[in-house]
Chain A
């Protein structure tokens, strides 16, 4: 069965952003430019923190608005991103209701493809990989 990145308990998020850094590091980058996940406070840290990433829609609006087929449906939810086809139109960025597609500095996008690399670096058990029906 395919797997997908999920939250186990969002309330436990401390806003450390280690997932964000892990995501870019996977490609050999130090920073956040290639990250398909974002760590944010909830209108200030008084109210805690959360993470924003692709929740694996069954019918993803981002795929629907992609004019080049750079975003395709992934088995088990979410998308596959074919970077070489991406023209940087940002239609997908606007289409995602939760703002889980991010603009890179080079004009292309960063989106979670549910690889699970960040899970090993989530120190407080917020994130996990879960088997889902294809």
Chain B
């Protein structure tokens, strides 16, 4: 496999052949190995010594749905390992350019963007772009200047990344994101506005006939079975209503888990009133990217409208909707659009603002800090506050741009600062597995081990130790999927049997058992890397014990026992 290494300090690059890394598959597994080789785990995440790795997998571009790219870096939000996955066309472009991974090191002296075109790398001046805050505009300018239409990815940061907001994201193909843990700020700290990859290429498979057959099987499974049905139709926002019904929808900084306006901002309502089109990541027949149309009149001129296309998903509706008490679809969409333009992570932004709203209510901070009166449901003021997170006009917004953990260190309100391992909370308060999942998940993401899904099935909880082992087992298998860069939404398609079968025509013999072992190995290596980076036992926010969830009020003892057990068994 080929690895492209780019050094921004020297404006140089090299291409390495690394077949010795084949056992680590790609994606997460490969990124962990490369990260260990490339980074001093103690580096400051915003220094030039931080390293960014983009890795794809052996199934890209051979099979459908292996469309994710794994980004790994040291997170400026948590100070620990950062890992973020995005769809779009990034994986396809990197694969066709001929690489399994791209490593970016160093720091440019001045703002630049980088263009990779197959085996060439170009460094382009980005000083003119540096002051443009809107990620959509920057994306369009670069797309118009560069060639490779239809064969490329344009990964760029918005103003939030430039201003080093520690939960700034990297946006690709307008609507997909390396959202979590602050990759955008790492780009910004390296003076890197965008990375364009143009790929034209292919590889010959070993057994053409078998390859075409397995391809068809996977394709049919994805389209014709129920394995991906949920994403076919309403998309991820289909979760809003059921989560609200089972008391799992975090509302107004998790002071409630039911939202009286849930129907207004449900997936069904968005589909009926707002859905304008759907688009797909490269090599995905499902096209789960739901784009809403928002028609907004000009403020002072009659019969003038702007029509904006806005991508929405469940997590955004939670973070910028129920979590902020926003009661209308239009309000949610305007907030999403603001966050999208500036290139912020929507979940972190929502949780930070929810905390700030409650802190203001309780008098921990005043309007002197917040500059606008933050109140649940007040869209205009939240739009202004998001602008302030980007502009950082005072200490308060400078600190809030470092995340809710940091803000609550400075201003108090720790008990209702909803972060796990320093990462702001995803949109589920469904029970023990949800929160244990956030705490022990190596990315502190709901997708690490899907505890939130387990809570929705469970009727009686096993001892905490058993629950932890179950979650870790799921997370280990997901290391295989994220090393193959298979979209987690396709996990029902890519069962171990199919994965093993799909490898064969490509010339690899890997049994189901070997796959499971690989997952365990990758999990262990990743955890070791976290520990090397100074991972400490994460704090449990008090608020999760105060607000009823699907299973009533949670007991602190159960979660602490689980965390202690995990720490002793897996970390130590």
B201 and A16 contact, CB distance less than 8 A:
no
Cα distance A117–B136 in the bound complex, in angstroms: 36
Residues of chain A in range 1-58 having any CB-CB distance to chain B below 8 Å: 14-18, 20-21, 24-25, 28-34, 38-41, 43-49, 52
B61 and A31 contact, CB distance less than 8 A:
yes
Cα distance A49–B173 in the bound complex, in angstroms: 12
A18 and B64 contact, CB distance less than 8 A:
yes
The minimal Cβ–Cβ distance linking B392 to chain A, given in whole angstroms, is 29
Enumerate chain B residues within 8 angstroms of A124, measured Cβ to Cβ: 287
B283 and A31 contact, CB distance less than 8 A:
no
Given A14-B279, A17-B283, A38-B151, is A33 in contact with B173 using a C-beta cutoff of 8 Å?
no
Given A15-B280, A21-B283, A40-B150, is A28 in contact with B95 using a C-beta cutoff of 8 Å?
no
Q: Which of B151, B203, B219, B277 contacts A121 (CB 8 A)?
A: B219
Task: Tell me, yes or no, whether B367 is within 8 Å of chain A by CB.
Answer: no
Q: Which of A32, A34, A47, A123 contacts B285 (CB 8 A)?
A: A123
Enumerate chain B residues within 8 angstroms of A29, measured Cβ to Cβ: 202-205
Task: Tell me, yes or no, whether A133 is within 8 Å of chain B by CB.
Answer: no
B285 and A16 contact, CB distance less than 8 A:
yes
Cα distance A49–B281 in the bound complex, in angstroms: 12
The minimal Cβ–Cβ distance linking B126 to chain A, given in whole angstroms, is 19
Residues of chain B in range 243-301 having any CB-CB distance to chain A below 8 Å: 277-285, 287, 289, 291
Give the contact stretch, choosing among B102-110, B207-215, B510-518. B207-215
B174 and A44 contact, CB distance less than 8 A:
yes
A25 and B201 contact, CB distance less than 8 A:
no
A123 and B150 contact, CB distance less than 8 A:
no
Cα distance A47–B285 in the bound complex, in angstroms: 19
Enumerate chain A residues within 8 angstroms of B205, measured Cβ to Cβ: 28-30
Q: Which of B64, B208, B282, B309 contacts A28 (CB 8 A)?
A: B208
The minimal Cβ–Cβ distance linking B2 to chain A, given in whole angstroms, is 14
Enumerate chain B residues within 8 angstroms of A43, measured Cβ to Cβ: 140, 143-144
Question: Using an 8 Å CB-CB cutoff, how does the interface string of B217-247 with A read, 1 for contact, 0 for none?
Answer: 0010001000000000000000000000000
A15 and B199 contact, CB distance less than 8 A:
no
Task: Tell me, yes or no, whether B149 is within 8 Å of chain A by CB.
Answer: yes
Task: Count A interface residues, CB 8 Å.
Answer: 35
Given A38-B150, A44-B174, A45-B173, is A33 in contact with B202 using a C-beta cutoff of 8 Å?
yes
Q: Which of A16, A25, A31, A46 contacts B280 (CB 8 A)?
A: A16
Determine the residue in chain A with the shortest Cβ distance to B212.
Answer: A25
Enumerate chain B residues within 8 angstroms of A40, measured Cβ to Cβ: 149-150
Cα distance A52–B149 in the bound complex, in angstroms: 11
Q: Which of B95, B140, B143, B174 contacts A31 (CB 8 A)?
A: B95
Q: Which of A28, A39, A44 contacts B139 (CB 8 A)?
A: A44
Enumerate chain A residues within 8 angstroms of B118, measured Cβ to Cβ: 105
Enumerate chain A residues within 8 angstroms of B279, measured Cβ to Cβ: 14-15, 41, 45, 48-49
A-B contact count (CB 8 A): 112
Task: Tell me, yes or no, whether B96 is within 8 Å of chain A by CB.
Answer: yes
The minimal Cβ–Cβ distance linking B44 to chain A, given in whole angstroms, is 35
The minimal Cβ–Cβ distance linking B481 to chain A, given in whole angstroms, is 19
B287 and A31 contact, CB distance less than 8 A:
no
Q: Which of A28, A46, A52 contacts B204 (CB 8 A)?
A: A28
Task: Tell me, yes or no, whether B320 is within 8 Å of chain A by CB.
Answer: no
Task: Tell me, yes or no, whether B390 is within 8 Å of chain A by CB.
Answer: no
The minimal Cβ–Cβ distance linking B229 to chain A, given in whole angstroms, is 14
A28 and B287 contact, CB distance less than 8 A:
no
Determine the residue in chain B with the shortest Cβ distance to A39.
Answer: B150
Cα distance A45–B204 in the bound complex, in angstroms: 31
Task: Tell me, yes or no, whether B428 is within 8 Å of chain A by CB.
Answer: no
A21 and B61 contact, CB distance less than 8 A:
yes
Task: Tell me, yes or no, whether B62 is within 8 Å of chain A by CB.
Answer: yes
Determine the residue in chain A with the shortest Cβ distance to B207.
Answer: A28
Task: Tell me, yes or no, whether B200 is within 8 Å of chain A by CB.
Answer: yes
B223 and A17 contact, CB distance less than 8 A:
no
Cα distance A14–B140 in the bound complex, in angstroms: 19
Enumerate chain B residues within 8 angstroms of A104, measured Cβ to Cβ: 200
Given A16-B282, A17-B283, A38-B151, is A105 in contact with B174 using a C-beta cutoff of 8 Å?
no
Enumerate chain A residues within 8 angstroms of B136, measured Cβ to Cβ: 44, 46
Cα distance A28–B505 in the bound complex, in angstroms: 10
The minimal Cβ–Cβ distance linking B452 to chain A, given in whole angstroms, is 28
Cα distance A29–B61 in the bound complex, in angstroms: 10
A105 and B283 contact, CB distance less than 8 A:
no
Task: Tell me, yes or no, whether B175 is within 8 Å of chain A by CB.
Answer: yes
Determine the residue in chain A with the shortest Cβ distance to B119.
Answer: A105
Task: Tell me, yes or no, whether B92 is within 8 Å of chain A by CB.
Answer: yes
Cα distance A49–B277 in the bound complex, in angstroms: 10
Q: Which of A18, A24, A46, A105 contacts B309 (CB 8 A)?
A: A46
The minimal Cβ–Cβ distance linking B505 to chain A, given in whole angstroms, is 10
Enumerate chain A residues within 8 angstroms of B219, measured Cβ to Cβ: 121
A30 and B203 contact, CB distance less than 8 A:
yes
B223 and A32 contact, CB distance less than 8 A:
no
Given A32-B201, A32-B202, is A14 in contact with B280 using a C-beta cutoff of 8 Å?
yes
B284 and A16 contact, CB distance less than 8 A:
yes
A32 and B199 contact, CB distance less than 8 A:
yes
The minimal Cβ–Cβ distance linking A21 to chain B, given in whole angstroms, is 6
The minimal Cβ–Cβ distance linking A92 to chain B, given in whole angstroms, is 17
Enumerate chain A residues within 8 angstroms of B139, measured Cβ to Cβ: 44
Cα distance A39–B93 in the bound complex, in angstroms: 13
Cα distance A41–B281 in the bound complex, in angstroms: 11
Determine the residue in chain A with the shortest Cβ distance to B60.
Answer: A30
Would you list the 10 A-B pairs with minimal beta carbon distance, nearest first? A31-B202, A16-B280, A28-B208, A40-B150, A123-B285, A30-B62, A33-B202, A29-B202, A14-B287, A46-B309
Taking A32-B202, A102-B200 as given, write out 19 further A-B residue pairs in contact, using a Cβ cutoff of 8 Å, ordered by the A residue number.
Answer: A14-B277, A15-B282, A16-B280, A16-B285, A17-B280, A18-B64, A25-B212, A28-B208, A30-B61, A30-B202, A32-B96, A33-B202, A34-B202, A38-B149, A41-B150, A44-B136, A45-B291, A48-B277, A48-B279
Q: List 22 A-B contacts (CB under 8 A).
A: A15-B280, A17-B280, A18-B64, A18-B283, A21-B61, A25-B212, A29-B204, A30-B61, A31-B95, A31-B202, A31-B203, A34-B202, A39-B150, A41-B173, A41-B279, A43-B140, A44-B136, A45-B174, A46-B291, A103-B200, A123-B223, A123-B285
